[in-house]
A = this chain, B = another copy of it.
Amino acid sequence: MKRILVIGAGRSATALIRYLLEHAAQYQWHVRVGDLDAELAKAKVAGFATASALYFNIEDQEQARLEIGQADLVISLLPARFHIKAAHVCLELQKDLFTASYISGEMKALAAEVSDRGLLFLNECGLDPGLDHMTAMAALDQVRSVPQAHIHSFKSYTGGLVAPESDNNPWHYKFTWNPRNVVLAGRQTAQFMRDGKYKYIPYHRLFTRLEEIEVDGYGKFEGYANRDSLQYRGLYGLQDIDTMIRGTLRRPGFSEAWNVFVQLGLTDDSYVLEGLASMTYRQFVNTFLYHHPSKSIEEKLCDYLNIPPDGVIMQKLSWLGIFKDENIGMTVGSPAQVLQHLLERKWGLAAHDKDMIVMQHQISYSAGSEQKDLLMSLVSLGDDQDQTAMAKTVGWPLAIAAKLRLTDQLQDSGVVVPVTPLYYKPILKELEQLGVQFIEQEY
């Protein structure tokens, strides 16, 4: 019997844990799920004999050693900053560690030791990062196998959105993952390449520089550039490419309205607001506008940001209630925290709502004298509130990788990211069987 220790039983762990539990009898696994919220952990394994749940605190060294010591493989779904603590114990006790998070500098620094001991620390094996890498590399390797192929453009967009059947607000957006990360998204200069030229977009301009993306059967989206796309040239073997952009998807019209928050400074998380306890949403907005003896807050906003007073942007803002003279109900907070507080009331998923993951890779290449474009699109819809598209696309790649490792089908060691066929072939194959599938169009 092999023991799998899953630490972190939050929202994104649901599909992962269910996959492991459903395969536990077949492969003789014991699935042990630990979380600071023991009840949550228990609920996730309820009804399965091959599983156990516990209160688990990664900061408790003694407990971490005991539990990791008894495991054959550790999967960490804790917030990213805690992975390194698990990593140190795993290294000491010679256990494999899998995560869905970006590989950190600290994690990279363990590479030689991890390799020496024949261990596998697999990172970035979720959705984004994860599925994006694997599908990109599958597509790129396919193109590279074409004689004389020269890839000159790679664009890739991903979005966590609400499913069309649950899309019933003017923003066409709901929170399907960590709201704080959504509010703070993009607060870093976007770096990419376009037609052989380096391009940089500072945060305050990001939501005005959009690309239109279309996905068959799902309509139009808009994409804004996402952090540092340049570093992926090395990871994907595209050092001499002319266009390299990774971006985030929203429904059309979202970004021009979100840009209002950015322009006002409502997404700033660097300081605490004065006088918040007695502040209304209307006063909150006015705090970021200039003083005027007679103009209304709506007039000042439209003048300041050059927005039509009766247009779709103001409709979106009004729908959120930011012009209401209603107490915010917080005592301490940054502008970003106030905005999040408001958005959570309006953008929360209802019980029956379903989410949707959309991913599209656009590859342009030449083969001899021919110019070709390859379009790969994926749409994954949530089943319900638990088996969300987000949970499935984050959790399944990790679960499949764990299965491969425990059944000796993943012979590798080191601190790695899944960008080679060793990973993407079996993982994408099984994801296809699970209904997570890219549609390929060449033209």
Which residues of A pack against B, CB within 8 Å?
A: 188-189, 191, 194-195, 197-202, 204-205, 209, 230, 263-265, 268, 270-271, 273-275, 283, 286-288, 290-291, 335
Per DSSP, chain A at the interface is: loop
Chain B residues contacting A335 (CB-CB under 8 Å) are: 200
Given contact pairs A189-B271, A230-B274, A291 touches B198 in the complex (Cβ within 8 A): no
Distance from A262 Cβ to chain B, minimum over Cβ atoms (Å)? 8
Identical subunits present: 2
Chain B residues contacting A291 (CB-CB under 8 Å) are: 194-195, 197, 199
Given contact pairs A189-B265, A204-B204, A274 touches B198 in the complex (Cβ within 8 A): yes
Given contact pairs A189-B265, A205-B263, A265-B189, A287 touches B197 in the complex (Cβ within 8 A): yes
How many angstroms from the CA of A268 to the CA of B190 in the assembled complex?
Answer: 12
A200 contacts which of B188, B194, B288 (Cβ < 8 Å)? B288
Distance from A270 Cβ to chain B, minimum over Cβ atoms (Å)? 7
Chain B residues contacting A197 (CB-CB under 8 Å) are: 283, 286-287, 291
Question: Contact between B268 and A198 (Cβ–Cβ < 8 Å)?
Answer: no
Please list 29 pairs of residues, one from A and one from B, whose beta carbons are closer than 8 Å in the complex, sorted by A's number: A188-B270, A189-B268, A191-B274, A194-B291, A195-B291, A197-B283, A197-B286, A197-B287, A197-B291, A198-B273, A198-B274, A198-B287, A199-B287, A199-B291, A200-B268, A200-B271, A200-B273, A200-B287, A200-B288, A201-B265, A201-B288, A202-B263, A202-B264, A202-B265, A202-B288, A204-B263, A205-B263, A209-B290, A230-B274
Question: Contact between B230 and A200 (Cβ–Cβ < 8 Å)?
Answer: no
A205 contacts which of B189, B265, B270 (Cβ < 8 Å)? B265
Chain B residues contacting A264 (CB-CB under 8 Å) are: 202
Residue of B with least CB distance to A264: B202
A275 contacts which of B198, B265, B274, B290 (Cβ < 8 Å)? B198
Given contact pairs A195-B291, A209-B290, A291-B194, A202 touches B268 in the complex (Cβ within 8 A): yes
